Each structure stands twice: as C-alpha cells, then as structure tokens.
Structure 1
Amino acid sequence: MFLNRFADGVDAVDLTGTEEFASLLQSADELGVTHADTVRYVSRNTVVRGQRFHFSEWGVPGRPQLLLLHGGNQSAHSWDLVSLHLADRFHVFALDQRGHGDSEWSRELDYSLDAMVADAEAFVAAVGLDRPVVLGHSMGGRVTLTLALRRPDLARALVVVDVGPEVSEAGARTILDFVARNLEFDDLDQFVDNVVRYDPFRSREHITRTLRYNLLQRADGRWISKVDHRRIPHPNRALTLDDVRAIEVPVLVVRGAESNILEADAAVRFADALPSGRLVTVDRTGHNVHSGNTTGFLAAVAPFLEAVTGD
C-alpha cells in the first residue's frame, strides 16, 4: 500500500522555474538566508546497490563537492536553505536516504546503519564524487561517522550535526514518540501545529511551505509522511569515543544550544576525542540546527567548509 515507487529516469530535472523553488526563495528572504541571483538546482535519480535513490544537486560542477545526509524521518529537502546559500561556492549533493523522501523503500526492510553506510559509499562512486566534505545531521551524522571509519580515504572533512557517540535516551524517545504520532493524519493545519510544538524554533510559514515535498496524499484523502511506515528501529552497534579517535580528517561538531539530543558535556567529550575536531554551538535552535536557525548554522559552518576545501 505504501510502496513508494517513482519513475527510474536518471535525467536531471531543472527545478529553478517551479513554484517549489519560488517558495524556497520566499523562505530564504524572510529568514535572511543570502544566495546568488542565479542558482543551478536540479532533481535527479540514480540506481545503486539495486535500489533507486533520489537526490538534489545544487551548484556548478568543478567546485568543491559536498554530500549532505539528512536525519531520520526527514529528506534531502531539509537541506534546501543551506544548499541554496552554498550553491555559488560548492557543488552540493543532498541525498534522500533509503526509505525517505523520494528514494525507493527497501524491499528487504533493511534500514540498518550498515545498509545506509553502504548506500552512501556506493552513491559517492556512482555520481563521481572525489573526496567530498560530508555533512550529516542526526541519523545522517551517524552514517557520516561510520562511513569515515570504514573508508578513511573517502571524505576530506566532516560536519556532524547534533549527534555523537553519547546521545540523550530521553531526547531520542521524544523524537520516536513524535514520529509515531504523526505518520498519517487528516488535517494539515493540525500537523503544522504538532510540528511547531515539537520544534518551536522553525517558523510556521516555512513549515507550511515545506509540507508539499515531505508529505503524500493517499487516495482516501489522508496525508502520510514520505518515509517507509514499515520501518522499525534497527539495533545498531553504537559508536564510542574510542571509535571516533580513529577519524583523522577535520571534523566540525555542530550542536544546537537547546538540543535535547546532544547534551553540552557529551558534545565537548566528542569533539575532544577527535584528533582534529572542533565544536561550535548555534544559539536559538534545538536538535534540527540547520532548520531552526539557518543563518546561525551557516555562520558556523561556511568558514569551516571554505578552510577545508581551500576556498
């Protein structure tokens, strides 16, 4: 019933003339996110490991490459404002991970960390990325760290957003409870109300605008989130501080000042364990750092990206 099947075409679709892009520009202007007058933004698909993946591509080939990995129950669109701002300096690839957004759902119901790391590694090869900087939020941050441990040669640097070896169990339960209560619903306004209560740092207007690519409407009229509803939490081995000591590339750890997931002392221990790690805390935002305070996130991250890519 929920199998998310889309056309497997691999041709790039230009989105800059769409209502979706116009809406994004409006949000950027309201939130103070600067961007170039002309931006390349396309939607693409690729097939890796026998599964179709959707991704957004921003910017001009030949610029330093960024791979963006979203958090659980989100999508590549969670990075849209960040990508818009960075597209004049970087070649940005934002991936819908398996079972999320417009990527295919796993036929085997395999949503393990191992599977997602293998997907990311195969995606890098499939689209021809050459030592990109990998940015990962929450679930995507865990993928980022594990990928760096398994393939130390793959990324030139990492940005890990509001996750680490030590996370708050109570905060994680809050996320799982919110997701479980909001998989499907009848009324869009009620859903927006729920999101605002859960994440008060995001503007109601921007949340409303992003619904169009985070939700699907079924034939019976009910709305559902664009994630595989059959997905269940997978018992993955947790990374430890000893594990991350083996990551030698530069790592920027980004924490939301009001995060209920990555607590302040845990973030310090994480950054201290990294051979080339640095911690920044972004004010006026919680776990969803880059959407709760996009300008603060960009102010923290852009100088790091420019430094590690030589710009």
Structure 2
Amino acid sequence: MYLNLFAETTDPLDMTGSAEFRSLLTSAADLKIPHEPAIRYRSRNIVLRRMRFHFLEWGRPDAPPIVLLHGGHQSAHSWDLVSLHLAQKYRVLALDQRGHGDSEWSRDVTYSNHEMSLDAEAFIQAMRLEKPILIGHSMGGRNAMLLTRRNQALLKALVVVDVGPEVSEKGRAAIAGFVQAAQEFDDLEHFVSAVRKYDPYRPREHIERTVKYNMLERADGKYISKCDSAPRRLGIVRPSGPMENITLEEATDFRLPVLLVRGETSNILEPDAAERFAAAMPGGRLVTVPNCGHNVHGQNTLGFIGVLGDFLASLDR
C-alpha cells in the first residue's frame, strides 16, 4: 500500500490542497525557506521508452525550465523544499527515475546509469523543454553527466551535486551498507531511527514528514523500500565501464556552464577529486556547502539554494 498521494492517471493532480503540501509548508517555515504564498504544484505521469514515469511539476508553465534528478533510493520528493523555492521564478520538473518513487519498475530489471540518462533525455524532449537547466544529485548527477556527454546542446546549464568522475569507494560502500539495511522494517519509527543514525544533519521532524515517500506498507504490515530491490535479490551486478561514467578528459568537452556542488563532510566526493573535476571543465565552478555531507540539498537546504541562486543569476547575466 502506498503511503503518499500521487496522480494515478495521465490527468495532472493538483497537490496544493493536500495534507502533504501543508506539511511541506510547515517544514519550509521551520527551515526559513523563501517561497511564494501561492504556488502551482502538480503530480503527473508520462510514458517514455515504453515505461510509465511519475514527475512533480512546480511553477508557471511559461517560466524557464529546470529538470531535477534525484539520487539512488530517493525520489522526486527529495527536492520538494528546493522545488518550492525555485518555483518562484522557474518551471521545475522533478522526475521519479525508473524503479524509484512512484515511477514504474523496469520489467527487465535494467537500472544502469546509461539507461536512466536516456530516460532523462527522452523526458526533456517529450516535454518539449527549451534549453532546460539540468540538476542531478549523486546517481542523478551521474545520469546528468552522461546525458551532457551525449547531447549537451539540449541543455542551458548543468548542476552536479556531490558526485563526479572520481568517487570514494569507502563512501560508496557506506551508502550501500545503509541501503542494504534499509529494506524492511516492522514500523516507520524503526526506519526514522535508522535514517537519523545515518544522517544526523536532517531534523527528525523533516525525516518523519518525508518517510512516506521512501516506504511501502506490505500486506503483512511490514514496511519496505519503494525502490525496486530485484537487482539485489537476483544478484545482478551494477554495470560499470565507459557507458556508466564520464572521464576527466571527457569533462574538458563540457562547454556549457557547470556548477559542481560538494558537501563539506561528503564521504563520496573528496575535495581533491572535486577540484580536478571542476578544473577540467572550461565553464566549471566548484562550491562547497558547509554543515552537510553527501545529501547537500536535504541536509543544508538554505545553503544549497543560496549557492544555486548565485549560479542561476550568473546565467541571466
């Protein structure tokens, strides 16, 4: 059983009258996130590459477009506070990537970064977005880099959050360990406690608000991850190689403006790796956000929207 509200058909669902939206506004007030009092916010579905994808749409339809790609074992809702803020000036589209959130699970259990980057490209084209700004965190950042390598003419600018061509294997193992342990719980309090141990930066109240976007209630009353666990159950090895990651040499061909955002205590993107990545890109800019780790926009949302706002303003200039 799903714990959250989302569009069940191709008809958009207005989310602004929901209890979930009121809860989001409470979190925004607690964290002092600037936003307009009235906002356009809808849950939608689209069929891409023979799969159903769910996405969240914020802001005016004629505003400049921003596309958001979430990290692994997260969802489009991980961007909610950021989307609420950006919707003051932009049309924001946060995509639930395949096997995540409220999108369809892959029938052939294909979850490579390459395939996900093709999904994102198809989404931009199907929505007829004119030169969107693409923002991706972690897994979503890797997918965004692959899309940029293949078709950077599609984009106005790129924002990569706490990932790059070189990542820490120790940090990756820590994330994998948490994901492995966060598959099944007797109750939601158990899950909240596990997240608090893994992520001490986020307020407990915010974790409690967002838990519905991460878990499903199974028929036996237990709570399980909303992400497709078939690869783990079937022992499918994560793909690797040139189709799954860009190199520093390839980053030199990124001719569009790129903002690389690193969390100060990130265990994934080491400072020297971030510096090499930013330096390789002709239009690259590196900013480190304090008081956060890998999940920058969720752990220090104000800090993240501050550096993002400066970057977006520079594009207008």
TM-score, normalised on structure 1? Answer: 0.96
Aligned partner (choices 283, 291, 294) of residue 284 of structure 1: 291
Deviations 1:120-153 (A, max 9, x none): 1111111111110000000000011110110021
- CA change 1:193–1:8 in 2 (3 A) is closer
- CA change 1:59–1:268 in 2 (3 A) is same
Residue 17 (structure 2) aligns with: 17
Unaligned runs of 5+ in 2: none
Residue 147 (structure 1) aligns with: 147
Of 206-215 and 41-50, more deviation after overlay is shown by 206-215
Of 52-61 and 8-17, more deviation after overlay is shown by 8-17
Identity rate of aligned residues, in percent?
56
Stretches (4+) displaced over 3 A? none
Residue 236 (str. 1) matches residue 221 (str. 2):
no
Deviations 1:175-233 (A, max 9, x none): 00100101111021121111111111111110001112221101100001110011345
Residue 245 (str. 1) matches residue 249 (str. 2):
no
Residue 148 of structure 1 aligns with an amino acid whose one-letter code is T
Residue 77 (structure 2) aligns with: 77
Q: Is the 8 A contact 1:8 1:52 kept in 2?
A: no
Residue 267 (str. 1) matches residue 274 (str. 2):
yes
Residue 102 of structure 1 aligns with an amino acid whose one-letter code is D
Matches within 5 A, 1:77-156: 77-156=77-156
- CA change 1:93–1:275 in 2 (3 A) is same
Query: In 1, Cα distance between the equivalents of 2:128 and 2:10?
Result: 15
Residue 170 (structure 1) aligns with: 170
Equivalent position SS for 1:255: strand
Query: In 2, Cα distance between the equivalents of 1:8 and 1:210?
Result: 20
Q: What's the C-alpha RMSD, in Å, of the aligned pairs?
A: 1.5
Equivalent position SS for 1:153: helix
Query: In 1, Cα distance between the equivalents of 2:26 and 2:152?
Result: 40
Q: CA deviation at 1:32?
A: 1.2
Q: Is the 8 A contact 2:7 2:13 kept in 1?
A: no
Equivalent position SS for 1:242: helix
Q: Is the 8 A contact 1:13 1:42 kept in 2?
A: yes
Q: Is the 8 A contact 2:149 2:246 kept in 1?
A: no
Equivalent position SS for 1:260: coil
TM-score, normalised on structure 2? Answer: 0.94
Unaligned runs of 5+ in 1: none
Residue 272 of structure 1 aligns with an amino acid whose one-letter code is A
Residue 214 (structure 1) aligns with: 214
Q: How many pairs does the alignment contain?
A: 307
Q: CA deviation at 1:236?
A: 2.3
